[in-house]
Chain A
């Protein structure tokens, strides 16, 4: 794992990607900090990060896009997968390299709150808590990107799909507000999700009865719920959408709240997507 981590990190700086990512993040953090902290004389560093968050949508997919897609295209995954190294180590090595590059790109941002203390009283705790959340948010985005990169051998496709997914998740809050009333829509969405799940089960188990059974059982439960407790359906739908809002927990840090929940959420997202990445690699060997 260490070998892969070292090689990957180095290769980000062999090309331009590592430097560009660092430069872009530093430039925007600097810009917003100048505007918010210096020009408007505010000690609130978290709002700088809040505004910078959207930049992550553009920068992070560029870091994650190549991780597995390029490896597969060039055939170098054959070296990794035929070496006495487990898939978890490969995934972790490549992922941690991206995180390391991202962390290095964040270094300038780490210095800014300290600089601000020269000019007045700054809440370092809230600033660094927000920075931690920002880092975890980025790490979670990278995990999503790594998984999408493992699904394709085309870097551009990996970039675009990661960008799209992150964008939807960024806008999830406003999307959520569209669905506050009427449980019919929630019912339809759940029904479609159920159908997809049933088809997947049917295909994976190669048996029509299994798929039909899953669909029948799910549909019965869904209809019953819709008839008896439509409000539950709606709140479940909202909760599901809320879970997809990757940027939401970070926003609570910006508001000055240290949320353990948020940290656990990000760590779970990272674990889930790295697991999915491993599964994707594993599955490729079998197909």
Chain B
């Protein structure tokens, strides 16, 4: 559907996008993920023909965006970061204008499309209102509705949920999932849980380069994961340390806290190894009853952080900052990294085997390092 080859964009001396190549195939929701300034918007602006690449080619539905801009642009509906709305028009006027702009010839056809897209975007009841007077969430919907006009095959959304409140974010995500059933969707975001919950495939951009791509699960698996176990046990810090270090497969143990005779610790293990049973037995044998123990799997966020920060500062040690958000807290709230609730380690009442399962489904399970 969209083939991007060796795309490079240079602003003066700054490289915004460097040698980017990827292919977007039909019928999936793609997530373009990256920290701010990674080149997401630039890439999208090039895909849609708003900017021209310094080098490289973009083919949309077989049409080169530079050689056949009209055919290529007709296949794309685009919602830029800032919805391009004329605030002095009503929603209806704007959508009719956008439809005409996208080459919907007859007025009857335009009205028909207007009805379709406003129903899908949930715009009923606001059609006669001035865009100036709409809330940000509705403006975003108008922008998405406009992107759907003219029956494009691909819909490109640049940070569609930025600046919205949690309820609106959920609504927009539902809308995007719905769009994914009929269109190929590419959306960009710097919010992980969003991409994880909405997208079928993820492209991670870092410093203008493609750092990784794949399904969210593939990405997590692709990384040479360093497994980890966190737990609490009764006893002294020294005893716990000594007992845990003696277990085969445990590479490193850190004591993260000690209070009321209960010691919290984390243990780094070899990739793929599950040392929980051995660890539990060893600690019990050393007279330190285990009160909780859970394995940590890498979430997409870990992959993301590792990939995008690799080139930068050295990784913080696995340790005090580790925390896992349990399932309920990881509901589709707008969880920027800073907003992830710092939750206590899960209780062991659910049994040691339940914990990793809960974490697999927790989109916001987070570990730094």
Contacts and interface: CB of A to CB of B under 8 A. Distances in A.
Nearest to A4: B101
A81 interface: yes
Contact of A11 (B69, B80, B88): B88
Interface string B186-223: 00000000000000000000000000000000000000
Contacts, number: 67
A120 interface: no
A78 B78 contact: yes
Contact of A285 (B11, B52, B71): B52
Interface in A112-135: none
A15 B101 contact: no
B88 A76 contact: no
A75 B80 contact: yes
A285 B70 contact: no
A14 B84 CA distance: 18
B51 interface: yes
Given A7-B86, A77-B84, A78-B80, A84 B102 contact: yes
6 contacts: A15-B88, A75-B82, A78-B50, A79-B101, A84-B102, A286-B52
A85 B50 CA distance: 12
* Main secondary structure on A side of the interface with B: helix
Contacts of B51: 285-286
Given A3-B97, A74-B87, A83-B98, 11 more contacts: A4-B101, A6-B97, A14-B88, A75-B80, A78-B45, A78-B50, A79-B84, A79-B98, A82-B73, A84-B71, A84-B103
Contact of B97 (A7, A81, A84, A286): A7
A76 B86 contact: yes
Contacts of A77: 84
A213 interface: no
Nearest to B54: A286
B82 A80 contact: no
Interface in A33-78: 74-78
A182 interface: no
Of A77, A83, A86, most B-chain CB atoms within 10 Å: A83
Interface in A72-105: 74-86
A76 B88 CA distance: 12
Interface string A1-33: 011101100010011000000000000000000
Interface of B: 11, 45, 48-52, 69-71, 73-74, 76, 78, 80, 82, 84-89, 97-98, 100-103, 146, 150
Interface in A186-234: none
Range, interface on chain A: 20 to 34
B101 A80 contact: yes
Nearest to B104: A3
Nearest to B96: A3
A82 B76 contact: yes
Nearest to A11: B88
Contacts of B50: 78, 81-82, 285
Contacts of B97: 3, 6-7
Contacts of A79: 84, 98, 101, 146
A77 B48 CA distance: 13
B78 A82 contact: yes
Nearest to B53: A286
Contacts of A86: 69-70
Contacts of A6: 97
A66 to B, nearest CB: 11
A274 B87 CA distance: 26
A81 B82 contact: no
A74 B84 contact: yes
A274 to B, nearest CB: 19
A76 B100 contact: no
A139 B88 CA distance: 26
CB-CB nearest 10 A-B residue pairs? A3-B100, A79-B84, A84-B74, A82-B48, A76-B84, A84-B73, A75-B82, A83-B101, A84-B70, A285-B52
Contact of A85 (B76, B82, B101, B146): B101
Given A3-B97, A4-B101, A82 B88 contact: no
Nearest to B71: A84
A76 B101 contact: no
A85 B99 CA distance: 12
Contacts of A285: 50-52
Nearest to B86: A76
A150 B238 CA distance: 72
B85 to A, nearest CB: 7
Nearest to A286: B52
Contacts of A286: 51-52
Contact of B49 (A7, A82, A287): A82
A15 B89 CA distance: 11
B86 A83 contact: no
A12 to B, nearest CB: 10
A14 B146 CA distance: 21
Given A3-B101, A7-B86, A286-B52, A83 B80 contact: no
A11 B86 contact: yes
Contacts of B11: 287
A85 B80 CA distance: 17
Contacts of A76: 84-86
A6 B107 CA distance: 14
Contacts of B78: 78, 82
A248 B76 CA distance: 48
Contacts of B100: 2-3
